[in-house]
Structure 1
């Protein structure tokens, strides 16, 4: 079984949520000037999972995951595995509540990227394949043409991330509404896997992780808007 993990997304240099093992793209503006169309999507607080013909993988991709909060996703994979071909479907698994609890969830799994061989598919292709699998994509914030003014661009990102976003996030510690975890910007066009760091960028809020080592023992399932609807797995009813 083989599965190559998702590339490391470099932070914008003005992103406050970096940790010691994160990397920044200090040259991001020059990279943006090579991109015709940019897509900004909401960064969601879940687990990065990958579906491909070999199984369901968590972030490390060392072996297929067996965690209890991926049981519903593995059940879904059993139904669609023969349709995946050479696609790696990367999605944000919100089945388990992490540092943010979302109060406006239609689904537990939100696709954010798809890889085919040595190519990351365009955003239009991502939405197309997600639709075929009956999965939503992460909330789309804006599509813009190549930005011209660096200061205005950075201010816009900071303004966007000061909002709650599309899924009504609540801080699990305080129980109060909070801002979105962050934003991911990507080249709307397809690009080769080796150029990932020059085509995908993120801004993450400061101290966004509130979970600790006990999380895996005390986790709970995220509630959907339509409990018992078509997206709720059988075992959770």
Structure 2
């Protein structure tokens, strides 16, 4: 039995080309997006979903705290802040280990993308507030906007955004060639109930973004930061 509840599955837009056989698509997404007062596009990053709560540091499964070597530094950080979390669960994209994409403009290894408080997902401004309190960055914010009146206009803009390289300078980890961003995540700027997650967060992922296989953990490497030796770099 899980110790805590894991992050919900984010549904793909129907025009997202990077779906796999086990991904879910939300065909009628527009009725939810168009009803939002404000939405936020953030850059989808190629890392591991980690959760920091008073109970430990969790990976995708919340059956038990993670003990992976690429979370060792994060678990040391958690020791410093665990007593301050209370009922908050802070979700971060862990970029410590290089996956399919290697980023050349990393200021940090851990980027907050969501905060849950009990049965409620916090709004984007509250999420940024708690990230700042914990001295952690948030995932790159691409754009905040009021949904346009036409669905076609929205989809066209999303497709245009994902043609860019993003803010962290992504490179194909295998070939070393510059690539476009992995995709974007769109969320309601306001908070919402935990049970309403699936109709408040959506994603677009480019095709062919996953290049790693089940054996990547055997030969993983630590991601370099652009300012090595800074305060966010471990001492190893």
Matched with 1:53 is: 54
Please list the CA deviations of residues 5-39 of structure 1 after superposition, one character each: whole Å capped at 9, or x if unmatched: 00110000000011111101101000112211000
Q: Distance in 2 between matches of 1:180 and 1:26?
A: 23
Normalising by structure 1, report the TM-score.
0.98
Cα offset for 1:147? Answer: 2.2
Q: Distance in 2 between matches of 1:166 and 1:148?
A: 28
**The 10-residue stretch of structure 1 (143-152 or 82-91) with the greater mean CA deviation from structure 2:** 143-152
Moved beyond 2 Å, runs of 4+: none
Q: Distance in 1 between matches of 2:222 and 2:174?
A: 16
Matched with 2:230 is: 229
Cα offset for 1:228? Answer: 1.3
Matched with 1:63 is: 64
5+ long unaligned stretches in structure 1: none
5+ long unaligned stretches in structure 2: none
Matched with 1:90 is: 91
Number of residue pairs matched?
Answer: 235
Whether the 8 Å contact between 2:147 and 2:154 is mirrored in structure 1 is no
**The 10-residue stretch of structure 1 (102-111 or 202-211) with the greater mean CA deviation from structure 2:** 202-211
Whether the 8 Å contact between 1:113 and 1:121 is mirrored in structure 2 is yes
Please list the CA deviations of residues 157-209 of structure 1 after superposition, one character each: whole Å capped at 9, or x if unmatched: 01110110000000012211000001000000000011101100000011211
**The 10-residue stretch of structure 1 (26-35 or 128-137) with the greater mean CA deviation from structure 2:** 26-35
Cα offset for 1:45? Answer: 0.1
Alignment RMSD, CA only? 0.8
Q: Distance in 2 between matches of 1:213 and 1:52?
A: 27
